[in-house]
Amino acid sequence: MGANLFWVWMVLLAVGVMLIAFGGKREDGTHGASVEWGYLAILGGAFGLLSDHMSFTAVMLLVVLVTGGVWLFDKLVLAKRRQPGTVVPHYVDFPRGFFPVIAVVFLLRAFVAEPFQIPSSSMRPGLVVGDFILVSKFGYGLRVPVLNKVMVPVGTVERGDVVVFSFPGNEKISFIKRAIGLPGDVVEYRNKQLSINGKPVERVSAGEHSYLERGLMMIQNQRYTESLGKVRYDTLVIPEQPVYNPAGVQSFPLRENCDYRDDGFTCKVPEGNYFMMGDNRDNSEDSRYWGFVEDRLLVGKAFLIWMNLSDFSRIGTSIR
């Protein structure tokens, strides 16, 4: 987290404390709106500070536990001691009021669907910068929050799925790529032709495609429609570029499973891992460079674009 953001969160916390301290009360003895805004400011500041050290899900779980603890303690102990008509202290009233809302949001995000925003062009042409997407949290099994271990097996990753996962190099960051190789698969990519277990993936030319990258540069690509498993999707390649950049290949666990050569590479996917690639093949940092994705890092399957503020026509588009 940058120093500027750190101070933003600190100022938010300080403002929250001041609003609570000097918020005052209404004539009926209840707490003013400024006190509520103070607790909201503290909540926002705490989220910002904690998110630098743990995942968003872990921060939400912590907040649920704290507010839920206040709610439960009030219900079992404090409420029984309180005289009728007594104003509930603000340090009890507001946390217990936040608890049901935060708990519902947490449960929906943990077990039903979670929103994400597409940050880069690595999944063009299907997904573009600015797309807000929904990710199914039960497509690959119901998982224990934070630990992300499957507790109820529901489904498994299939070749061609668009998957959101925690980046192996920094698990606080979420990535989105297409699952190309499953455990045990041999993935080969040579001369812009993808093969799985020795069988070339069917692809058909779909003409040329261009897009404006970060509002600065027009990128010209050749577009192909690939068929992988039950899925048909479009990919982009720049014919004159190499299939990977050797200087970008990192040292990653089980790198010995991959053989890099001038015209491409071959990787055997270890058990419990997946090989991920972006559809924008020459503009994607993916498993070619930083290795395999363990099952414990899976977040869910992307299935719907629910918002794009720059292009409303994309709203409601299914992800394939």
Reported as a single tens digit per residue, the pLDDT across 227-243 is 998 899 999 999 999 99
Is residue 148 a part of any domain in this protein? Answer: yes
Q: Is 0.85 surpassed by the pTM of this model? A: yes
Domain final residue pick, 95, 112, 129: 112
Q: How many angstroms separate the CA atoms of 30 and 18, rounded?
A: 18
Are 85 and 194 found together in one domain? no
Is residue 320 a part of any domain in this protein? Answer: no
- pLDDT score at 269: 98
Helix 33-50 vs helix 3-21: crossing angle, to nearest 10: 150
Write the CA distances from 82 to 71, 90, 248, 292, 313, integer angstroms: 14, 14, 64, 57, 55
Are 81 and 192 found together in one domain? no
Is residue 122 part of the annotated active site? The answer reads yes
With a cut of 70, which residues of the chain have pLDDT below it? 1-3
Are 107 and 62 found together in one domain? yes
* CB of 253 closer than 8 Å to CB of 170: no
| 139 HSE (CA, 13 A, CB side) | 19
Domain final residue pick, 57, 90, 112: 112
Are 66 and 126 found together in one domain? no
Is residue 227 part of the annotated active site? The answer reads no
Are 129 and 10 found together in one domain? no
- pLDDT score at 2: 56
Total domains in the chain come to 2
Options 137, 166, 177, 192, the catalytic residue: 177
Q: How many angstroms separate the CA atoms of 81 and 78, rounded?
A: 5
Structural domain containing residue 54? 3-112
Options 55, 120, 121, 122, the catalytic residue: 122
Domain final residue pick, 112, 133, 148: 112
Q: How many angstroms separate the CA atoms of 16 and 35, rounded?
A: 8
Is residue 149 a part of any domain in this protein? Answer: yes
Are 282 and 209 found together in one domain? yes
Are 27 and 72 found together in one domain? yes
Are 150 and 281 found together in one domain? yes
